[in-house]
């Protein structure tokens, strides 16, 4: 899929600009704090309905303006698609081909993107939250069923956690099994789809990491917990684990088992990357995982997602930059950097200079 045009109005530091993207490599360049990442963020927002950096849409609206507008014209395997978002302080409206969508699940999948920025090191260095977020965003874009199951799971989980704080123990013990039956149904979908995702991701990530490091390192990505069987069996396993932990959950006042606690292990050449990897190794591993995500999208939908590489080049050494450029050939990419010449080595591309929230001809 390709994004052809992106229109921004009162979005972040943009007043009114239209970006025309080519099918291959697009390079947004310019000094710091000019609006390169903001543009990348707008693309991501239209793909996922979520912001990259913030929780409140309000910050996306240009200071002093009442609302922001982002419109993208894109093409996917089904034809042309237009996505528009109007963002207000406390609400937003998103339309796909003119039709207002009522839930985020209906936005997912029209334009898929994979986003990589230096902050993505968190994927490996930070706690499990980041890795679950990675899986959630990635899987949701190709599986509305996953996204819906995840939302329902989280909702019931909140209710279960509220119940665990209730001081009426007999009420709690009577009610828990009712919640748990429901909870495990959605949990099983989440667990199963994550396992399928990681089964596909792991070999690609391993291959890409080996490619970027000239075979010097081996990357292993795998789920931290084992679940056997189909969704029914997973649900049963979880139900058992939940009931085994009633005492602990009651004592702590929250649910201690389930996919909201699951993680994935990332190993580089046999050792836990989170604990032992250097910055450079971590960066390459995170990049490999993201490029693996690109391939999964391609396998699942038959077309590449839009790859957004924010400020990535400056963090890579020269051989890795060149390898990266080779590997993304044929994938529509939006790449931001401060000095286009220094990172491109003559690679053919559509260069767009950004200055103070404007495109400079
Ligand atoms: N809501 C907003 N209204 C106006 N300016 C904003 C808003 N949000 C961010 N900015 C400005 O955008 C600039 C940062 O843009 P960014 O895209 O992150 O820069 P870079 O080109 O370095 O990637 C900063 O000057 C910041 O003040
Ligand atoms: Mg930036």
> 238-253, pLDDT tens digit by residue?
999 999 999 999 999 9
Please, which pLDDT band fits residue 51 given cuts at 50, 70 and 90?
A: low
**Residue closest to 21 by CA, chosen among 306, 295, 357:** 306
pLDDT at 140 over 60: yes
Q: What is the pLDDT of residues 257-279, one digit of tens each?
A: 999 999 999 999 999 999 999 99
156 and 277 within one domain: yes
Q: List, edge to edge, every strand of the sheet that includes 113-116.
A: 113-116, 306-310, 333-337, 25-29, 350-355, 358-360
Average pLDDT over residues 57-72: 95
- Asked whether residue 320 falls in the same domain as residue 345, the answer is yes
Q: Which of 14, 16, 33 to mutate to test the pocket of ligand 1 (most atoms within 8 A of CB)?
A: 33
pLDDT band, residue 53 (cuts 50/70/90): low
Asked if residue 52 has pLDDT above 60, the reply is: no
Same domain, 191 and 326: no
Query: Looking at residue 242, what is its pLDDT?
Result: 96
Same domain for 270 and 333?
Answer: no
CA distance 227 to 236: 10
Are 7 and 39 found together in one domain?
yes
61 Cα nearest atom in ligand 1: 1
Atom of ligand 1 nearest to the CA of 65: 3
Residues 292 and 311 in one domain: no
Same domain flag for 157 and 32:
no
| Range in 50-64, 66-80, 211-225, 317-331 with the lowest mean pLDDT | 50-64
Ligand 2 center from residue 36 Cα (angstroms): 5
Boundary (domain end) residue, out of 302, 328, 349: 302
| 278 backbone dihedrals φ, ψ, rounded to 5° | -75, 170
320 and 278 both lie in a single domain: no
| N residues, the chain | 361
Its domain, for residue 170, covers 120-302
Looking at residue 55, its pLDDT comes to 67
pLDDT for 272: 96
Q: What is the pLDDT of residue 56?
A: 78
Provide the percentage of residues in the chain whose pLDDT is more than 90: 82
What would the pLDDT profile of 344-358 be if each residue is shown by its tens digit?
888 899 999 999 999
Could you tell me the distance, in angstroms and rounded to a whole number, from the CA of residue 301 to the centre of ligand 2? Answer: 30
pLDDT of residue 106: 86
Q: Is the pLDDT of residue 339 over 80?
A: yes
Residue 151 and residue 293 in one domain = yes
Ligand 1 pocket test, pick from 11, 17, 35, 64 with the greatest ligand atom count within 8 Å of Cβ, gives: 35
H helices, E strands: number in the chain: 11, 15
Tell me how many domains the chain contains: 2
Choose the final residue of a domain: 258, 273, 302.
302
What does the CA dihedral 116, 119, 124, 125 come to, rounded to 10 degrees?
170
| Domain finish residue from 302, 333, 350 | 302
Instruction: State the CATH number of the domain containing residue 272.
Output: 1.20.1050.90
Question: How high is the pLDDT of residue 315?
Answer: 84
Q: Find the mean pLDDT for residues 332-348.
A: 87
What is the residue-averaged pLDDT of the chain? 93
| Nearest CA residue ID for atom 5, ligand 1 | 13
For residue 113, pLDDT over 60 is answered with yes
Q: What is the CATH number of the domain that holds 32?
A: 3.40.50.300
DSSP helix/strand/coil, 228: coil
Tell me, yes or no, whether 5 and 28 share the same domain: yes
Q: Are residues 130 and 175 in the same domain?
A: yes
Phi and psi torsions of 163, nearest 5°: -60, -40
Q: Are residues 160 and 88 in the same domain?
A: no
């Amino acid at each position: 899929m390709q994004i052809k045009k992106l229109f921004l109005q009162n979005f972040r530091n943009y007043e009114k600009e239209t970006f025309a993207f080519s099918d291959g490599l697009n390079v947004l360049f310019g000094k710091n704090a000019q609006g390169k990442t903001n543009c990348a963020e707008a693309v991501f927002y239209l793909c996922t309905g979520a912001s990259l950096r913030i929780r409140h849409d309000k910050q996306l609206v240009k200071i002093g303006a009442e609302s922001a507008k982002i419109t993208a014209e894109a093409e996917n395997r089904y034809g042309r698609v237009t996505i528009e978002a109007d963002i207000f302080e406390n609400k937003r409206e998103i339309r796909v081909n003119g039709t207002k969508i009522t839930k985020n699940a209906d936005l997912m999948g029209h334009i898929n993107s994979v986003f990589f920025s230096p902050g993505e090191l968190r994927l490996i260095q930070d706690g499990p939250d980041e890795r679950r977020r990675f899986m959630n965003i990635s899987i949701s874009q190709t599986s509305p069923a996953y996204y819906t199951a995840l939302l329902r799971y989280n909702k019931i989980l909140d209710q279960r956690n509220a119940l665990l704080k209730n001081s009426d123990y007999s009420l709690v013990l009577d009610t828990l099994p009712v919640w748990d039956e429901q909870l495990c149904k959605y949990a099983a979908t989440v667990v199963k789809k994550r396992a399928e995702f990681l089964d596909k991701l792991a070999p690609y990530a391993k291959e890409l990491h080996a490619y970027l490091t000239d075979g010097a390192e081996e990357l292993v990505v795998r789920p931290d917990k084992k679940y056997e069987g189909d969704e029914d069996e997973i649900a049963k396993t979880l139900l058992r684990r939940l009931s085994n932990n009633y005492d602990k959950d009651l004592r702590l006042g929250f649910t201690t088992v389930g996919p909201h606690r699951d993680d994935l292990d990332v190993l580089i050449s046999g050792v836990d990357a989170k604990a032992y990897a250097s910055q450079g190794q971590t960066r390459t591993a995170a990049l490999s995982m993201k490029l693996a995500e690109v391939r999964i999208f391609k396998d699942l939908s038959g077309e590449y997602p839009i790859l957004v590489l924010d400020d990535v080049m400056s963090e890579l050494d020269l051989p890795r930059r060149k390898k990266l450029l080779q590997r993304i050939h044929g994938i529509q990419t939006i790449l931001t950097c401060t000095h286009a010449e220094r990172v491109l080595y003559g690679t053919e591309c559509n260069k767009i200079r950004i200055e103070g929230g404007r495109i400079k001809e």
